[in-house]
Structure 1
Amino acid sequence: MVTVPAPAPVPAVGRRPGMWSVADDGLASRAARARGTGPYEACLPARLADLRFELPADLAADLADAEAALVAFDLHSTAVLGPQSQAIGPMSSVLLRTESASSSQIEDLTVGARQLALAELAESTSPNAMTVVANVRTMEAALRLADRLDLAAILRMHAELMAAPSAPPGGELRRQLVWVGRSGSSPRGAAHIAPEAEDVPAALEDLIAFIGREDLPILAQAAIAHAQFETIHPFTDGNGRTGRALVHAMIHGKGLVTRTTAPVSAGLLTDHPGYIASLDAFRAGDARPVLEQFARAARYAAVTGRGLVEDLSAQLDLSRERLSGLRRHAFAFRLLPLLVAQPIVHAAFVREALGTSAMSAQRALAQLAEAGVLTERTGRSRGRVWQHDGILAVLDAYAEQVRRSG
């Protein structure tokens, strides 16, 4: 006999009826206008601020194990590098960038490590790379604002995300109806019709009050807040990436992970259909699937993130061995840890990062190139960039491991 897991009940969304009319603008056929015109129901998010929430025992244990795994990952990353290591900051940055890339890939925005590193130097022409860099800025803003998660903080995160050149304006709540579905002209038949624009401010106010509670398990609270944020869909674009940044703001601000950024979105990415289905289940009144998704994603982040840290640390050790003939105060040694977060560099980056002269920056690059740590790939006499092939290979291998399913 198969035992059905107990649900984790939450109030289901309500419905607000409306009427939609597809304009005769010459773009839609008569049949498409007929199909798209008619009644629809926008959702009304349930109130969570005062929700009395009890987890089934097995699910509570699963979430506790996942939280413990995240804490262990954070401690392990520090232990591998040493608490005073120069690589702690860059390692945290590359984990944040990895998480941003995975979150973007959930939205079908894929970019390799090389193009992402080039985009950080304004050397890439890839639109996807520039979009993912904007998502990195969103994550950075989320962590900066983690101790004061109010409406202004959420708007700031979204403004950073929409700073990409091709993105629409950001940092403002939407003034129109949005939905998740194939049709761009009508909400009828959409997989999810978000609340009417006039209902968004009150729904966000309730969500922010829920986020401020201190009586819930952190990972469970972050998962539910994320599902509610996706239900509200407060922006015309970028809701998923902003909502996943909100998760990290919560687990950092509440002290679950403090030194690094666990690649939770990588875990969600590996079961994309399950992640989407869990949001639907939440709206129907059962939070169990989304809580299970986040517990699984947290464990995945902890295990694979640990491997990523160790692989990157091994690249640093190998590079130090290649520099063994240099004095320990050489500029090359100062630059080396920074290559974890920025595996492609040019002279201007080195000069600014090390706070040194152009001549010293060139010397550091020359020392690393002569030792076989960096390779110059452009072949140009001007505007040259150098890359760490080993670090790029590690990052690309990790991205390949977590490709989007479904």
Structure 2
Amino acid sequence: MRYVVRAGDTLYRIARRYNVSLESIIAHNPQIADPSRLVVGQVIYIPKRVLREYEIQPGDTMYLIARRFNVPLDKIIAANPQIDPQRLQVGQIIYIPDAPPTRIVDPLQEYGYDEMVKDLEQIQERYGFIQISTIGQSIEGRNLYVVRIGTGPKEVHFNGSFHANEWITTPLLMNFIEDYAIAYDANQPLRGYNVQELFNETSLYVVPMVNPDGVELVLEGIDPTNPRYDEVVAINRSSLNFDSWKANIRGVDLNNQFPAFWEEEYRRKGITQPAPLNYPGPRPLSEPESQAMAEFTRNRNFRMVLAYHSQGEVIFWGYRDMEPPEAEGIVRRFQEVSGYQPIRTVVSDAGYKDWFIQEWRRPGFTVEVGRGINPLPISQYPRIYEDNVRILLEALRL
């Protein structure tokens, strides 16, 4: 089949779109000098898809064959409409479709900045409809990535890892991005939600790791060759165990940085110098990470934001009576699908959610996942994801 290259095409994406192997496309197009460089308007040829043949053996069932080839049972049945799946005959030939691609995100591991970047690169390569860009950089020069998925006029924002030792919120959001992309690409629902409709109605913007320097510090420690080594270790009271570190690399708590009664929070905290947690900084938005988040938010028109933290299995949804009336109905729906307890207000200011509600009078939520002492053990992750996947989908729907 003749195909004309379009903007954004790669051979990998084309192969995936037509369900043929990359090697097969390259073999059928010897005129392509560099397979990594396609030109818009270039003509290439798509080979006919060749399915593997399999001869039925004694004892075979469609279920066992599906397991053997790691292909969903319904796809094998669909590829063999001439076969009665309940009446297989020895010697019969059936066709085996390609196995689905392996998943990219592995959330059941210590998940830091490097893991996130690698997964974002693969997600962007595999799913051409996902847009990945940056909103700024951390103090140590790590990119603050934002992922956009969806094309609708309604804009919604999720973020994670404002606090370094709450890094489990990053694989949660990355896992959701991949699940959402898989469902959209396959034109299938996700947990009963119509992803095609959500995609067309809502543009989702996810910043999966607001504090990459802090996350890396918690997970990897700090190398003695790092120019900040002495400063960071002194802030941590000479300890090289950073499990209690919530701040950015300069010892500023990024979720106490926003201009929402910041002065009151500064006085309340009573911490006037860099610390592993709770130091609001010398002034609002003093840090490049909080500055980037504020600028990013001002440049969009978010209908709702969810800031992910750990722990407590609660959802904070109000701020100084500034939240809109609809916020209570939304949080009650979140409670229904997750079991998390809504809490309207606490004595706290200067958080991202607080600032969003103050400035825009729109629904903003802080979701605290899991229970225990941060950093939460990865063994909690499967339950955390199941508790929250419907919150995320509801936020796109409402």
TM-score by length of 2: 0.22
TM-score calculated relative to the size of structure 1: 0.21
The structure that is helix-richer by fraction is 1
